[in-house]
């Protein structure tokens, strides 16, 4: 039976396809027993379930509330005795409805926790896969059910880690120009937190069987943009060795000028003079969250991509996103070139074929599936201005049988992730260092797209999350039987990349590294295949835009 997808089935901003969280096979009921590990701070008691040892809410840094608000996170606390690590920790402060963890606490300023999944039975030297959740830069958590790491860890003998980190105003408010040295880097606390988590992992992951010399960072949507930043951050450089940027190509981030303007707007709204900025330390976090939401509305809210899609998804609602401050983030992640510090680190980059379907459902835009030719032209002009006609012509030349709706979803999906992914792949390739692998996730979820629409859901934004974590036995990835093969393919490709730096899986064709001659792209589905330079006219039109 077709399964309707509405706002309950999607997490706003790309965190995960939630279904109903309890449907996740990764969290299916089973016998549990205690397991134990010891890290530098003390001893931990976790939960052993179905062949996986799970440790939740491990503090990787200290408190960032009170006097530490907007400051660099302090070292993690130590504890006496055995710390319980069986329940999720608090996610970052965020608007309601952005997290989907089972029995997850309410959001809190003090949110610097991580979760670890490792195969039971011991062993050493396992690859480590560190995930940054989606939700733009304003929502999400490392405890969401769709990205539970148990299946990925068990089936591939890897250690999976997911972090919570500061978000929104509390994670990215730029105070460098008014607050002094102690607040240098304030516009990047959210991604700096992840760098500190990577440092913690490097020092402690051996206690969970992981190899600190073989760490892969990966993330979807906002998590892909965070991964883009980490790929260019000196504080993270020593602690990871490979990366995957998924549906979140962060080519450029916020400039200092744009971030400073957001800070001025915030202070003016609160009636605080710049010289009195310290009053921000006493404003309740709930009030700051209200201000974040209000500023997001006044700025038009989060955009699916920058106005120029070649810049990737590097801006957040109301201007809260990583800032190129010359300090924590010395330069744009992939502009004008790929970061030198990661020259020798292999990279995967790509996105989903039908990204825009997610956003149409989120916005209850049933008209997107009923477009006339003039309706398509109007949407293209509103977004792309005088470039619209050239874009439409290129897409029509490659898709002569496509309907206006087909073209709309193709153009806007590429604008979200495809164009920026191509920029990253080309600039990484031109370094002449480690290889870059380009992909397109094409698995179609199926089921009715939304009420009032006589069409099925395709490879929408965020559908790849339960698939790559192989959490597909329930309904997180729909109900088609083919989801089982798709989950096996993608999870094995990502785990093999983490192990060796070259993605491969049984029954999947060889995935060639990207080059400017063939431009090979792995199309990920229940049956995978490689396409050389798919739809070249579409690729070229984006590069020709002025």
3-class DSSP state for residue 230? Answer: helix
Q: Whole-angstrom Cα distance, residue 121 to residue 16?
A: 30
Instruction: Kindly tell me the sign of the dihedral angle through the C-alpha atoms of 248, 458, 541, 302.
Output: negative
Q: Whole-angstrom Cα distance, residue 411 to residue 524?
A: 20
Residue 528 and residue 468 in contact, taking contact as beta carbons nearer than 8 Å: no
Cα torsion through 219, 225, 228, 230, rounded to 10? -80
Provide the token pair at 305: 């991509």
Q: What are phi and psi of 538, to 5 degrees?
A: -65, -45
Q: Which residues of 64-100 are buried (b: 16+ CB within 10 A; e: fewer)?
A: beeebbbbbbeebeeeeeebebeebbbbbbbbeebbb
Question: How many Cβ atoms from other residues are within 10 Å of residue 45's Cβ?
Answer: 15
Start-end of H helices in 300-418: 355-362, 373-384, 388-398, 404-413
**Among the options 132, 186, 221, 413, which is catalytic?**
221
DSSP type of residue 312: B
3-class DSSP state for residue 525? Answer: coil
Torsion region of 39: left, alpha or beta (phi above 0 gives left; psi -120 to 50 gives alpha): beta
Residue 151 and residue 26 in contact, taking contact as beta carbons nearer than 8 Å: yes
DSSP type of residue 32: E
> Could you confirm whether 132 is annotated as catalytic?
no
Residue that the structure tokens 């069986």 belong to:
86
Start-end of H helices in 205-334: 222-230, 256-270, 285-298
How far is Cα of residue 458 from the mean position of the Cα atoms in its chain? Answer: 20
Q: Whole-angstrom Cα distance, residue 440 to residue 466?
A: 16
The 3-state secondary structure of 69-119 reads: CCCCCCCCCCCCCEEECCCCCCCCCCCCCCCCCCCCCCCCCCCCEEEEEEE
Q: 378, 461, 380, 457: which is closest to 418 by C-alpha?
A: 461
Count CA within 13 A, CB hemisphere, residue 427: 24
Catalytic positions: 221
């Amino acid at each position: 039976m077709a399964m309707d997808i509405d706002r309950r089935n999607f997490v706003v901003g790309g965190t995960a396809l939630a279904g109903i969280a309890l449907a996740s096979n990764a969290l299916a009921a089973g016998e549990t027993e205690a397991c134990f590990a010891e890290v530098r701070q003390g001893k931990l008691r976790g939960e052993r379930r179905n062949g996986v040892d799970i440790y939740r809410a491990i503090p990787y840094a200290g408190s960032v509330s009170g006097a530490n608000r907007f400051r660099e996170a302090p070292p993690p606390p130590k504890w006496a005795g055995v710390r319980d690590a069986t329940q999720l920790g608090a996610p970052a402060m965020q608007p309601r409805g952005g997290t989907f963890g089972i029995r997850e606490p309410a959001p809190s300023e003090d949110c610097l926790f991580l979760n670890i999944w490792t195969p039971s039975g011991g062993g050493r030297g396992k690859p480590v896969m560190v995930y940054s959740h989606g939700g733009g830069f304003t929502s999400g958590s490392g405890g969401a059910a769709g990205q539970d790491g148990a299946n990925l860890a068990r089936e591939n003998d890897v250690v999976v880690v997911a972090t919570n980190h500061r978000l929104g105003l509390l994670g990215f408010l730029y105070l460098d120009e008014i607050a002094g040295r102690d607040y240098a880097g304030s516009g990047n606390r959210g991604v700096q937190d992840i760098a500190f988590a990577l440092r913690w992992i490097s020092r402690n992951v051996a206690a969970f069987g992981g190899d600190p010399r073989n760490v892969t960072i990966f993330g979807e949507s906002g998590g892909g943009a965070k991964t883009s930043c980490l790929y260019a951050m000196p504080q993270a450089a020593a602690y990871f060795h490979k990366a995957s940027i998924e549906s979140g190509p962060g080519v450029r981030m916020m400039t200092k000028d744009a971030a400073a303007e957001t800070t001025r707007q915030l202070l003016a709204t609160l009636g605080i003079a710049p010289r009195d900025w310290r009053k921000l330390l006493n404003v309740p976090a709930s009030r700051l969250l209200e201000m974040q939401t209000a500023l997001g509305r006044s700025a038009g809210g989060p955009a699916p991509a920058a106005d120029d899609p070649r810049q990737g998804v590097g801006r957040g609602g109301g201007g809260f996103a990583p800032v190129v401050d010359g300090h924590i983030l010395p330069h744009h992640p992939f502009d004008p070139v790929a970061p030198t510090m990661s020259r020798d680190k292999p990279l995967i980059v790509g996105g989903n074929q039908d990204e825009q379907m997610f956003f149409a459902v989120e916005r209850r835009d049933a008209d997107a599936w009923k477009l006339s030719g003039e309706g398509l032209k109007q949407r293209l002009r509103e977004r792309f201005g005088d470039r619209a006609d050239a874009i439409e012509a290129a897409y029509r030349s490659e898709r002569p049988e496509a309907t206006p709706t087909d073209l709309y979803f193709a153009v806007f999906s590429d604008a979200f992730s495809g164009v920026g992914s191509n920029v990253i792949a080309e600039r990484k390739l031109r370094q002449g260092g480690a290889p870059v692998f380009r992909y397109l996730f094409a698995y179609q979820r199926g089921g009715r797209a939304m009420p009032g629409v006589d069409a099925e859901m395709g490879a929408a934004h965020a559908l790849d999350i339960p698939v790559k974590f192989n959490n597909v036995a329930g309904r997180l990835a729909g109900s088609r039987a083919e989801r089982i093969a798709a989950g096996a393919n993608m999870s094995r490709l990502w785990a093999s990349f983490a192990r060796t730096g070259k993605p491969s899986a049984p029954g999947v064709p060889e995935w060639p590294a990207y080059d400017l001659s063939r431009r090979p792209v792995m199309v990920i589905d229940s049956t995978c295949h490689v396409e050389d330079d798919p739809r070249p006219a579409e690729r070229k039109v984006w590069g020709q835009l002025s």
